[in-house]
């Protein structure tokens, strides 16, 4: 597929491109309407754009979509979608229905470089980061085109494959497209980005002021244990991470969610619960407890339901909102930490995002390396 993917572009990039063609800038809004509201998949569908312009643009622009390879449904209603990208790599996206919510869990990378010991996605390392379009397309897949206000989903979590802040540029640009009026138009309050705690990137992400919710995977209460299960803790120990969380810009009633994967006899003791309460002091937070989804080859075990309950009770008794997250979709390997890429194509991406899509903030994040266990860094970085 030649040229630039329209779904990688921000409104201002499209406007600049059109002005360079001698066209008025308002046509960019027209293009966006087609790309996001009507979900056009070719320039030829844009009936109110002059034919000659459409032909000219078509030589340089295209609109990407994802190819569904497989769809699986869990007994609990959770659905998992395996998509093929243009270069043959594959990603997984999950749709999780609950009583009053339907949450889409999107991937931001093919694989992951962070190497958390309890996570299946970590096992093959990172193949590449996703382009903004590849993140946005996971959402659009569930969005009915045309004028109906109905959506097949209510919330989006960036908790699928990959570390969103290791793909800061792709994540930020996708979020801009997803939340803009000219784009998909989803309220940022309905979106949560989860990170393992890349502190420099977290600071840069805060400066983008996107107003989305933040989740941080804490997973331990001592540096010794956190480093053992999350090697990223060597670079950014708990106090450094929590200081960045305290400085993170939050709206009036917004709170940071801390995720805590419970591992039997390692981080699930009463002493851990006590330390956790102390660590959370002064933070506007809630805690999501995730009993480990066991993974073949991983030495950790899930605690008993009783231990999980006691841990939660201690937090609640000490004034911390704490929830136990049910492992949804475990029978189809769709639960947290169970996503993986079945096809990994390590060849270089044929379609790179255009330089025009890169806002300056992304070059100012200090070139942080997140790297224990990184295998490859390709794609839109
Ligand atoms: N990379 C990001 C987002 C994807 S992981 C991050 O780490 O935050 C989403 C969540 O799943 C994280 O909180 C992570 O700690 C959790 N997780 C990973 N493996 C898990 C497992 N085997 N069982 C339960 N939760 C797991
Ligand atoms: Fe990557 Fe998150 Fe899995 Fe850690 S838990 S390896 S950061 S996807």
For ligand 2, residues with CB inside 6 Å are: 112, 114-116, 119, 121-122, 162-163, 196, 217
Active-site pick, 23, 79, 92, 208: 92
**CA distances from residue 291 to 52, 107, 136, 144, 206 in whole angstroms, order as listed:** 58, 21, 30, 34, 29
Write down the pLDDT at residue 348.
41
pLDDT tens digit string along 115-125? 999 999 999 89
pLDDT tens digit string along 249-269? 999 999 999 999 999 999 999
Q: Which atom of ligand 1 is nearest to the CA of 291?
A: 24
**Which residues on neighbouring strands pair with residue 91, listed in sequence order?**
83
3-class DSSP state of 297: coil
**Quick check: 250 and 256 in contact, CB under 8 A?**
yes
285 part of the active site: no
Judged by its nearest atom, the ligand closest to the C-alpha of residue 107 is: 1
Q: Which atom of ligand 2 is nearest to the CA of 337?
A: 3
The DSSP secondary structure of 192-234, one letter per residue, reads EEEES--HHHHHHHHHT----EEEEE---SSHHHHHHH-THHH
Read off the pTM. 0.90
Structure tokens at 193: 């980005």
Write down the pLDDT at residue 146.
53
Q: Which atom of ligand 2 is nearest to the CA of 119?
A: 3
Does residue 230 line the site of ligand 1, with CB under 6 A?
A: no
What is the CA(143)–ligand 2 centre distance, in A?
A: 27
C-alpha atoms less than 13 angstroms from C-alpha of 211 in its C-beta half-sphere: 12
Whose CA is closest to atom 13 on ligand 1? 217
Structure tokens at 195: 């990170």
**pLDDT of 282 above 50:** yes
pLDDT tens digit string along 324-349? 998 888 888 887 877 877 777 764 44
Q: Rounded to whole angstroms, how far apart are CA atoms 135 and 70?
A: 18
Structure tokens at 351: 């379609």
What is the CA(337)–ligand 1 centre distance, in A?
A: 5
**Quick check: 12 and 173 in contact, CB under 8 A?**
no
Lowest mean pLDDT among 68-77, 127-136, 362-371: 362-371
**CA distances from residue 9 to 2, 235, 249, 304 in whole angstroms, order as listed:** 15, 33, 26, 48
Structure tokens at 296: 């073949």
Structure tokens at 226: 């956190």
Write down the pLDDT at residue 213.
98
pLDDT tens digit string along 56-77? 999 999 999 999 999 999 999 9
pLDDT tens digit string along 196-212? 999 999 999 999 999 99
> Could you tell me the pLDDT band of residue 353, with boundaries at 50, 70 and 90?
very low
Candidate from 111, 112, 335, 339 with most ligand 2 atoms within 8 A of CB, to mutate: 112
Residues contacting residue 319 through CB under 8 Å, at least 6 positions apart: none
Shortest CA distance to 191 belongs to which of 249, 246, 119, 257? Answer: 257
Q: How many residues does the chain have?
A: 381
């Amino acid at each position: 597929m030649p040229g630039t993917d329209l779904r990688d572009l921000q409104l201002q990039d499209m406007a600049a491109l059109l002005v360079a063609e001698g066209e008025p800038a308002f046509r960019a809004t027209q293009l966006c309407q087609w790309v996001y509201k009507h979900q056009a998949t070719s320039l030829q569908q844009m009936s109110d754009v002059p034919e000659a312009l459409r032909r000219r643009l078509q030589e340089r622009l295209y609109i990407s979509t994802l190819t569904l390879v497989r769809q699986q449904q869990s007994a609990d209603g959770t659905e998992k979608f395996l998509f093929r990208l243009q270069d043959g790599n594959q990603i997984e996206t999950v749709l999780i229905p609950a009583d009053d919510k339907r949450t889409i869990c999107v991937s931001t990378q093919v694989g992951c470089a962070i190497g958390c010991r309890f996570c299946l996605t970590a096992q093959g390392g990172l193949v590449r980061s996703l382009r903004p379009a590849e993140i946005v397309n996971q959402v659009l897949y569930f969005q009915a085109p045309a004028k109906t206000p109905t959506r097949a989903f209510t919330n989006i979590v960036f908790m699928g494959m990959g570390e969103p802040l290791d793909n800061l540029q792709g994540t930020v640009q996708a979020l801009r497209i997803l939340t803009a009026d000219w784009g998909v138009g989803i309220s940022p309050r309905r979106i949560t980005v989860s990170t393992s705690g890349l502190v420099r990137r977290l600071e840069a992400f805060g400066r983008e002021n996107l107003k989305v919710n933040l989740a941080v995977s804490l997973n331990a209460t001592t540096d010794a244990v956190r480093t053992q299960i999350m090697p990223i803790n060597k670079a950014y120990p708990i106090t450094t991470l929590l200081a960045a969380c305290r400085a993170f810009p939050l709206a009036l009633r917004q709170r940071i969610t801390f995720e805590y994967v419970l591992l039997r006899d390692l981080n699930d003791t009463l002493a851990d619960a006590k330390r956790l309460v102390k660590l959370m002091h002064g933070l506007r937070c809630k805690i999501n407890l995730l009993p480990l989804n066991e993974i073949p080859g991983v030495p950790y075990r899930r605690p008993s339901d009783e231990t999980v309950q006691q841990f939660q009770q201690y937090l609640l008794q000490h004034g911390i909102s704490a929830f136990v997250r049910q492992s949804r979709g475990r029978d189809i390997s769709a639960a947290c930490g169970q996503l993986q890429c079945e096809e990994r194509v390590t060849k270089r991406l044929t379609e790179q995002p255009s330089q025009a899509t890169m806002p300056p903030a992304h070059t100012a994040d200090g070139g942080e390396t997140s790297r224990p266990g990184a295998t490859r860094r390709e794609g839109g970085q």
